[in-house]
Amino acid sequence: MILTIKDLHSYYGESHVLQSVDLSLAQGELVCLLGRNGVGKSTTLMSIIGLVTPRRGSVRFMDKELAGLPPYEIARLGVGYVPEERRIFKGLTVLENLLIGVKPARVGSGREPWSVEKIFDTFTRLGERCDQKGGHLSGGEQQMLTIARTLMGNPEVLLVDEPTEGLAPLVAESVLKMLGTISRTGVTILMVEQNYKAAMKLAGSFYIMSKGKMVFHGNGAELIAAENVRKKYLEV
């Protein structure tokens, strides 16, 4: 496993948000973390990247313990984070945003490093907008730029928080297709998403979270078969 979380407990003040969370990702896998708003999905990602410091438990990435490390050290080790808020630099161009994210590829990764040229070849829409300011892009283009900027750091694992949030259905579909393309290059992806039907098209396995705990883990067929689980934890 490239990333393994065991018995993770995270708090906001005295509020016990994550309660004994276990999760694992194999190399090259695309895993989707599902659940309703406010159950701890984003906190799970932030606990991995170091924006929230776990009080107990382990986050192991390629045999290195991440729990307690600052975010910049975790990023340097090969973990990329795409926040829900996107956080692009709106006054900078697409190209300038990408260049800010540059970090060298890890030695021995076995994959072609991400470069500006590779980004524009893979995501032609960004190439067409190369000289436009980030603030002038559509919501979907800003989401693509956020993901692409993170890829410029050549991560081994990509943490993506609610990539389709606030996007029109067709735009959301294009963003998910982009994540599928990234996955096929060998990047391991952990994606937080609420729309399990959309996620079914590209994720290999699924976790469902409720009230800070994992309540389901399985593949797509097992998720479809678990009708009671879906009705209780996912459907309105």
Separation of CA 162 from chain center: 8
pLDDT of res. 196: 80
Please state, in angstroms and rounded to a whole number, the distance separating the CA atoms of residues 191 and 31. 6
pLDDT of res. 125: 87
Following DSSP, what letter does each residue of 160-179 receive, concatenated?
A: EE-TTTT--HHHHHHHHHHH
Is a pLDDT exceeding 80 seen at residue 37?
yes
pLDDT of res. 210: 93
- pLDDT band with cut points at 50, 70 and 90 for residue 106: low
Collapsing DSSP states into helix, strand and coil, what is residue 70? coil
Number of domains into which the chain is organized: 1
- For the chain, what percent of residues have pLDDT higher than 90? 51
pLDDT of res. 105: 65
Following DSSP, what letter does each residue of 85-123 receive, concatenated?
A: T----TTSBHHHHHHHT--PPPTT--SPPP-HHHHHHH-
Is a pLDDT exceeding 90 seen at residue 71?
yes
Which tens digit of pLDDT belongs to each residue from 52-67? 999 999 999 998 999 9
CATH of the domain at 15: 3.40.50.300
Please state, in angstroms and rounded to a whole number, the distance separating the CA atoms of residues 140 and 148. 12
pLDDT of res. 24: 94
Q: What is the mean pLDDT of residues 13-17?
A: 91
pLDDT of res. 194: 81
Closest CA to 190 of 170, 207, 214: 207
Domain range spanning residue 151? Answer: 3-233
Which tens digit of pLDDT belongs to each residue from 146-179? 999 999 999 999 999 988 887 788 888 888 888 8
What tokens does 189 get?
A: 């992806």
More confident residue, 82 or 166: 82
> Phi and psi at residue 52, in whole multiples of 5°?
-120, 130
Give, as one character, the DSSP assignment of residue 79. E
Is a pLDDT exceeding 90 seen at residue 107?
no
Following DSSP, what letter does each residue of 190-224 receive, concatenated?
A: EEE-S-HHHHTTT-SEEEEEETTEEEEEEEHHHHH
Is a pLDDT exceeding 70 seen at residue 236?
no
pLDDT of res. 144: 87
Please state, in angstroms and rounded to a whole number, the distance separating the CA atoms of residues 150 and 129. 18
Is a pLDDT exceeding 90 seen at residue 197?
no
Residues 234, 196 contacting (CB under 8 angstroms): yes
Is a pLDDT exceeding 70 seen at residue 225?
yes
Please state, in angstroms and rounded to a whole number, the distance separating the CA atoms of residues 197 and 142. 23
Residues 195, 202 contacting (CB under 8 angstroms): no
Residues 192, 38 contacting (CB under 8 angstroms): no
Which tens digit of pLDDT belongs to each residue from 117-133? 999 988 888 899 889 99
Closest CA to 203 of 213, 192, 211: 192
Closest CA to 152 of 105, 107, 189, 83: 105
Residues 23, 44 contacting (CB under 8 angstroms): yes
pLDDT of res. 157: 94
pLDDT of res. 110: 64
Q: What is the mean pLDDT of residues 98-114?
A: 75
Q: What is the mean pLDDT of residues 138-149?
A: 88
Highest-confidence segment of 97-101, 167-171, 194-198:
97-101
Q: How many C-beta atoms lie closer than 10 Å to residue 59's C-beta?
A: 25
